[in-house]
Amino acid sequence: MHFQNTLAFARELDQTDPLRSFRDRFHLPAPDGRPLIYFCGNSLGLQPKTAGPVLEKEMAIWRNHGVEGWFEGGETSWYTLHRQCKDPLARIVGGRLSEVCPMNNLTINLHLLLTTFYRPTQEKYRILTIGGDFPSDQYALETHLKARGLDPDQTLVEVFPETGNQTWKTEEILRAIDENRESLALVLMSGLHYYTGQVFDMAAISRKARQYGITVGFDLAHAVGNVPLRLHDWEVDFAFWCSYKYLNSGPGGVSGMFIHEKHHTADLPRLAGWWGYEEARRFEMTKGFIPMPGADGWQVSTPNILAMAVHKAAIDITADAGMESLRSKSERLTGFLEYVLKDSGFPLEIMTPSDPAHRGCQLSLLVRKDGKAVFNRLLEQGIIGDWREPDCIRLAPTPLYNTYEEVWQVGQVFAAAGRD
């Protein structure tokens, strides 16, 4: 698309946007009565307008029925709420119903999945990951390995970009798998890098790992609801995500898992709890764990019903919009942001790849001089982004609720800063 850096052009794009009505399905923060320009969905998505009524509905069931709320409503009861989330989740991540399940929080799910899928031997014991991946993943890997009596420095293979580059080439990751194939037990990395905004070629990475019989898993915290996923078709072994970013399920919202169906019949080791026990026999309270089939068998504890209900309301919106439609708008919206930033005359470096196929909503800007002052200037103009030390501003125009006019306004702030 040929962009124009004008308000009229931005408004024309908004008028013809097939997803424009979805903005009305969210509460727009307006602390002083004026709606903020919210470009921080990569950290916490906005509140769906359905969240409050859904939450009140569940509170009323609790208030009026007490423990009987678990079964009140039959197929829409608390007892089946996780199943009600399966269809939208499957559509969002490109999995089958049996392969997905909402549960727990992201890092808890990472530890549970490591317990199952990281099976080191004397020869094959190493884990390949991205250097500088999200800190929670780094800490989880470090402590999980230590708990198993392994030295993280000897066990982790961290792949960094070539010297002088901010982002990775797919060939670098594939080459690292080739070079370490004799010792790798697992490839585990983000599907979309939190800092640079780069989308990794998960299909190619999964294909290369399978070539050597290496298990592969992805942290999709910044990818889910942001870019189209085909986890089943890519034959990813497992994946996990949070739901409070692009899925808009609220702070600390319910996480989720994907486990490919090729593992559903295997007698895999796991850390279990009663909610993952065979549902038809759950209340027999008998000794000996019998897992539910599919991803449901990795559930551990009784779900947080209030959080799960909000989660269901939120993912219904994403599934309703459709990932292909969201992706189409995202490419235009983020492309327009890139255009107006470059046209602003303000000195900055966009570290996020320029190829739309290699990025999601987010652009990560390096502002070498007075970056924090520029970020504060954005805040003063009611523009909410994300600051990362020492010199990075992350902006994420989200297709469900952001507009082209908002993107244009962001460009105007940078242009004004460039003239000062």
> Phi, psi (5° rounding) for residue 325?
-70, -40
- What is the tens place of the pLDDT at every residue in 405-414? 999 999 999 9
Please give the pLDDT value at position 15.
Answer: 98
Peptide bond into 135 cis (omega under 30): no
Average pLDDT, integer, range 152-156 = 98
- Among left, alpha and beta (phi > 0; psi -120 to 50; other), residue 278 is beta
Domain ranges in the chain are 7-35+322-419, 56-320
- As its CATH architecture, domain 7-35+322-419 has Alpha-Beta Complex (3.90)
Q: What percent of the chain has pLDDT over 90?
A: 95
Please give the pLDDT value at position 221.
Answer: 98
Residue in 88, 122, 115, 312 with CA at minimum distance from that of residue 217:
115
Residues 6+ apart with CB under 8 A from 57: 309
Q: What percent of the chain has pLDDT over 70?
A: 100
- What is the tens place of the pLDDT at every residue in 360-392? 999 999 999 889 999 999 999 999 999 999 999
Please give the pLDDT value at position 266.
Answer: 78
Average pLDDT, integer, range 285-306 = 95
Q: How far apart are CA 261 and CA 263, in angstroms?
A: 5
Please give the pLDDT value at position 17.
Answer: 98
Strands 349-350 and 363-366: antiparallel
Cβ-contact 243, 249 below 8 angstroms: yes
Please give the pLDDT value at position 73.
Answer: 87
- What is the tens place of the pLDDT at every residue in 271-283? 999 999 999 999 9
Cβ-contact 398, 45 below 8 angstroms: yes
Report whether pLDDT(114) > 90: yes
- What is the tens place of the pLDDT at every residue in 117-143? 999 999 999 999 999 999 999 999 999
> Phi, psi (5° rounding) for residue 255?
-85, -170
Q: Within a 13 Å sphere around the CA of 147, how many CA atoms are in the beta-carbon half?
A: 10
For 95, which DSSP code?
-
Residue in 327, 247, 336 with CA at minimum distance from that of residue 18:
327
Task: Choose which CATH entry (3.40.50.300, 3.20.20.140, 3.40.640.10, 3.40.50.1240) describes domain 56-320.
Answer: 3.40.640.10
Cβ-contact 350, 338 below 8 angstroms: yes
